[in-house]
Amino acid sequence: MGYHRIGIVLLLTVQMVRAQAADPLPKAYEALKIKDYTRAIEHFQQAIVLTPDRPAIHTDLAYTLLKIGESEAARDQFAEAMRLNPADEHVALEYAFLCYETKQQVAARRTFERLAAAGNPTAKEAFENVDRPLREGIVRWGQVVAVDPQNFSAHEELARLAEQRDELELARTHYEIAWHLKPVRRDLLLDLGRVLKQQDRLEDANAALLAASRGAEPRVAEEAHELLAARYPYVYEFEKALALDPANVELRRELAYLHLAMDHRPEAEAQFVSVVQSSPDDLLSVAQLGFLLLKRGDEAEARPLLDRVLAGPDEDLADRVRSTLHMPQSLKRREEEPKAQVLNEAKILANRSLEKGYLKDALKYLRVANENDPVDFEVMLQLGWTNNILKNDSEALRWFDLARRSPDENIAVEAAKAYKNLRPGQQRFRFTVWAMPMYSSRWNDAFTYAQGKVEMRLNHIPLRPYFSVRLIADARGSVELGANLGPQYLSERSMILAAGIATVPWRGITGWFEAGEAFRFRTTPTDLGRAVPDYRGGISYGKGFGNLLANGSHGRFAENNTDGVYISEFSNDLILYVQGRAGYTFRGMETLKGFHSQILWNLNVTADLKSQYWANFVESGPGFKFRFEQLPPSLVFSVNLLHGVYLINEGNPRRPNYNEARVSVWYAFTH
């Protein structure tokens, strides 16, 4: 029965935790009412993370984004809502109009066409307004190219109109003609590759996109890279791209180096010959061709090429040639770049890497920056945060420690705060004390629970051995149950010295076990003596949601604490404690020493394995919690009014339910 009861309580706990999770949707709609669109968007986004499959949330977020002028972001949210609920024609229309507004005419036309086919009159009109200019333009430019086949602009315009109207074969034909008329316009290869990809002609598409990704202007090259496969191209793909774009020197040079890396020397030589012929000032390619000719014994052909490199301005490359030819190295020294320039470039590259999430690259560039300016405190701070994100906390702590000495107050404050937060988890030994004195009207008694603990951090091992002293006591001691029942003791009234081991917290979960000795302040007739062995262990879970009792926080919140505890003192019993709280956090008051408060509702469940009446009950009722900003953050006061019901009444000398006022103070600190 005990296991069955604990299972039920665990199930109730899971449901309670889910119910307590702060729902961000009401906050979003409250923010909308007061036209706080930024906060509304933030809460809608949080709601989508929790429930991504609700189209209504995407729709409401889209309309909110429109209010601040974010048309493209709104379009994407309407697209997601339309994907989740294709039958919602109103959402589909909004999406189509935004597509047209944000220059995505193809998607707009397709959506209008689908809705028009389903009989939507608005879509029919919109489709005709979009499609008519495309039809007429295709006819008009088709007549132009028929009269003047060499008219580049006519072919380009005809191709673009055909692509927008989903006439992909017509678009492909005229993109190809336009490309052959103007092969310097590599953006046409991007257009051609995009159309070929839509036609599922993937090999041809990859050839066009590969050519566009090398040697084109940066914007075109970047867009082509995004459409290409994530892997590195094969040799045959380079060859197919060169057949389409034979004048692409960058593409041919890359193929030459690929052959060189694969030790295909004849093929590499052939490609380098073409590169050198097309780009005689490319001294690196000239040198590589010279080295290849030299290796196969053709010194007569190689020497003029290598002499050209020796006469060139690249001293490093020239020294490589001298080394190959066993000539003395140049006495010229390349002037070092100014440290300031190196530092600036390293910081720029680091920031770009951080923006894109390339943390390891960012770390590399930040180290270069630090080497060039060891007293740049901004770089030290960035090194701290980057190492922290990469879980290199000991290294992060070192950089935060250095950065908090910055003469710049903002950097020093930020670094000091990070150092303070991170340091306790990195200390070899950590000392923690917590105490919770409490008064209960039910027992008309004051209780004290406290613990002091010294734990040791083990490198690379997620366990923490510790020594602890627990104090469990009350003022009254016991209450009389009545004739023949004897007294009931209200607490253990003991100090417990113990050694134990605990796991490193993981997502709010901690496991622990300890063995010790309990020294009693008083003995009872059932006790074996003042000093008795004490064994305890269990699993703890704690999680807070929403706006907790902290500076600057206000709004709804929920908290859950669940503990499964084995205690040898209680006849080797296993007890489950579940405490849930949900309510509202008020804004802090600047008067009254920064008064912060919450109103809340409690739901507490306790059950045990041995089915003892005193360990099986449910409590519920309102509460009030508060703290003062000028006092330590961990000093919290609570007042709770609870109604309790025993789940087991066999052997219970009291009523099956009770009322209780409970006042407590919580305080903790870590050193």
The pLDDT value given to residue 552: 65
Instruction: Tell whether the torsion through CA atoms of 346, 351, 354 and 355 is positive or negative.
Output: negative
**pLDDT (tens digit per residue) in 31-79:** 888 888 888 898 898 888 888 889 999 999 999 998 888 888 999 999 9
Longest dimension (CA), the chain: 120
Question: Exposure string (b/e) for 313-352, b if CB count within 10 Å is 16 or more?
Answer: eeeebbbbbbeeeeeeeeeeeeeeeeeeebbeebbebbee
- Residue 522 identity (one-letter amino acid): R
Interatomic CA distance for residues 616 and 541, integer angstroms: 20
**What radius of gyration, in Å, describes the C-alpha atoms of the chain?**
37
Phi, psi of 604, rounded to the nearest 5 degrees: -120, 135
* Same CATH fold assignment for domains 341-426 and 429-670: no
Determine the distance from the C-alpha atom of residue 479 to the mean position of all C-alpha atoms in its chain, rounded to a whole number: 54
* 312 token code pair: 């060139």
Closest C-alpha to 554, from 596, 526, 521? 596
Closest C-alpha to 64, from 46, 45, 92? 45
* 27 token code pair: 């906050």
CB 607 within 8 A of CB 614: no
pTM tops 0.95, yes or no: no
CB 430 within 8 A of CB 436: no
Domain ranges across the chain: 21-121, 261-330, 341-426, 429-670
CATH number of 261-330: 1.25.40
Phi, psi of 266, rounded to the nearest 5 degrees: -60, -45
Interatomic CA distance for residues 79 and 465, integer angstroms: 53
Q: How many other C-beta atoms can be found within 10 angstroms of the C-beta atom of residue 62?
A: 25
CB 178 within 8 A of CB 152: yes
- Quickly name the fold that domain 429-670 has: Lipocalin (2.40.128)
Element (H, E) at 429: strand 429-440
- Residue 610 identity (one-letter amino acid): K
CB 438 within 8 A of CB 446: yes
Instruction: Tell whether the torsion through CA atoms of 302, 303, 307 and 308 is positive or negative.
Output: negative
Closest C-alpha to 501, from 452, 462, 534, 470? 462
Please report the DSSP string for 477-544 in residue order: -EEE--TTT-EEE-S--EEEEEEEEEEPPBTTEEEEEEEEEEEESS--TT-S-SEEEEEEEEEEEEEE
Class of domain 341-426: mainly alpha
Q: Are strands 531-546 and 509-520 parallel, antiparallel or unpaired?
A: antiparallel
Residue numbers in the chain where pLDDT is lower than 50 = 1, 3, 9-10, 12, 14, 16-21, 331-337
Place of tokens 């041995």: 610
* 481 token code pair: 């149950």
CB 659 within 8 A of CB 643: yes
The pLDDT value given to residue 330: 53
Alpha-carbon separation of residue 146 from 150, 154, 191, 355 (angstroms): 10, 10, 22, 50
CB-based burial label for 171 (10 Å; 0-12, 13-18, 19+): buried
Q: Is 153 helix (H, G, I), strand (E, B) or coil?
A: helix
Query: Which CATH number, 1.10.10.410, 1.10.3720.10, 2.40.50.140, 1.25.40.10, labels domain 21-121?
Result: 1.25.40.10
Cross-strand pairs, 541: 509, 562
CB 457 within 8 A of CB 464: yes
Q: How many other C-beta atoms can be found within 10 angstroms of the C-beta atom of residue 99?
A: 24
Closest C-alpha to 384, from 415, 405, 353, 355? 415
Q: Which residues contact 340 (CB under 8 A, 6 or more apart)?
A: none
CB 210 within 8 A of CB 191: no
Q: How many residues does the chain have?
A: 671
